[in-house]
Structure 1
């Protein structure tokens, strides 16, 4: 799990470096699809709890009318936006989407806890990737890294700037 999790972190680092790196000017970046949403996103229940928090003494924690519906819509829109951003970024890179899906199916879930820079990996019971699956994931990360290098090499500002 550690090796596969490290590959998942490497892929995430590649994508984040492209989005937040200084090597490529923002307007030349292949990632013109908005900022990446933070790793820790508000879950549906958290949105509901925030909407129920009193903002002045008279509300007393009574939910705002439509708070549950707003929480549902917010989380659905957030999830769709995240998926669309990721899909667009992969498309621009020329990454084969079925390969990306296989990569995400084979790698464990990566999570970070507050005040700890080290990732934690989790997977379903019985998770035991074989050597071929590891090799596929390693090659996928290498291919993405090479593709990013190629794209960045071509993202040169005009000579007059």
Structure 2
């Protein structure tokens, strides 16, 4: 039986889960890029330990070391006995080895660390937060935009109900809501230099009855238009500081789950399932995390798009 969390605690839980998910994603990168997973996973656990102390009102001083939390939290009046200390000791040793001695983790080490951290959270989040499952922590809490946050929350509910396809439909809607209904596509048809383009255009304009040449120019202009539109959308992703390769994976996953109307969401999800398009838990988690990161980036850049104060005053009534 879970109890309601105050908004600040819910937000801190969402943030530490986001850090954990980033660590898991980092672990899938090729070496040596995957080594940073140790830092993310260690930070996620430490964020949880600090939050557990605050939530249980345990007095902890700033000098409390990583492994001291287990004993301090257990002995406090409102304390709790946390499991997983052996695995977290391994995590701490590997993290210190990387950070202070440059020891790069092997794939086996990363697999063990991920298993240890996953088990730690699965066991201890319910102990501290009265039955709350770790996978029930909603990362939507860190999304600044209300409409997007509500949709990502709803997607989480549908996932917990067992419909990952419907959750993907709702995540698709959240993404398009974030970007004002405009999707982001690939780079369009490959353009090649055509030394005759200018002459063909002049001839087509001068000889409107030359259909073959006019059709060729029309196709070239159409390709140019499509590529320009596509690149404009991709630039929006890049200027937000998002990874274009992550976006391309996101777009490939989400494209099958587009619903033009909210009342057709269930129908779209059922059609996708009938075609065998059912996302794995990892794929759904990746899409959710990408939207969370995009939402935070959009919010941060909004501050830099504000008009100067004198313009804001001048145009306040427009």
Normalized against structure 2, the TM-score is what?
0.32
Q: Does 1:73 align with 2:237?
A: no
Q: Deviations over 1:82-141 (max 9, x none)?
A: 2201111111111111110110111133263xxx67566475942121111111101111
Structure 2 contact 171–288 (Cα < 8 Å) conserved: yes
For residues 75-154 of structure 1, the aligned pairs below 5 Å read: 75-109=222-256, 110=258, 112=260, 121=268, 125-154=275-304
CA gap 1:118/1:93 in 2 versus in 1, 3 angstroms: farther
Q: Distance in 2 between matches of 1:102 and 1:4?
A: 14
* Structure with greater Cα Rg: 2
CA gap 1:118/1:89 in 2 versus in 1, 3 angstroms: farther
Higher relative contact order (CA 8 A, sep 6+): 1
Which residue does the alignment assign to 2:68? none
Which residue does the alignment assign to 1:30? none
**Unaligned residue ranges in structure 2 (runs of 5+):** 1-164, 184-208, 312-318
Greater than 4 Å deviation, 4+ residue runs: 116-124
**Unaligned residue ranges in structure 1 (runs of 5+):** 18-35, 38-62
CA gap 1:119/1:157 in 2 versus in 1, 3 angstroms: farther
Q: Specify the SS of the correspondent of 1:126.
A: coil
Query: Could you say what the CA RMSD is over the residues aligned between the two structures, in angstroms?
Result: 3.0
Q: Distance in 2 between matches of 1:85 and 1:94?
A: 15
Q: Specify the SS of the correspondent of 1:108.
A: helix
Which residue does the alignment assign to 1:3? 167
Greater share of helix residues, 1 or 2?
2
Normalized against structure 1, the TM-score is what?
0.58
Q: Specify the SS of the correspondent of 2:179.
A: helix
Q: Out of 117-126 and 129-138, give the one that drifted further.
A: 117-126
CA gap 1:148/1:126 in 2 versus in 1, 3 angstroms: same
Q: Distance in 1 between matches of 2:249 and 2:277?
A: 15
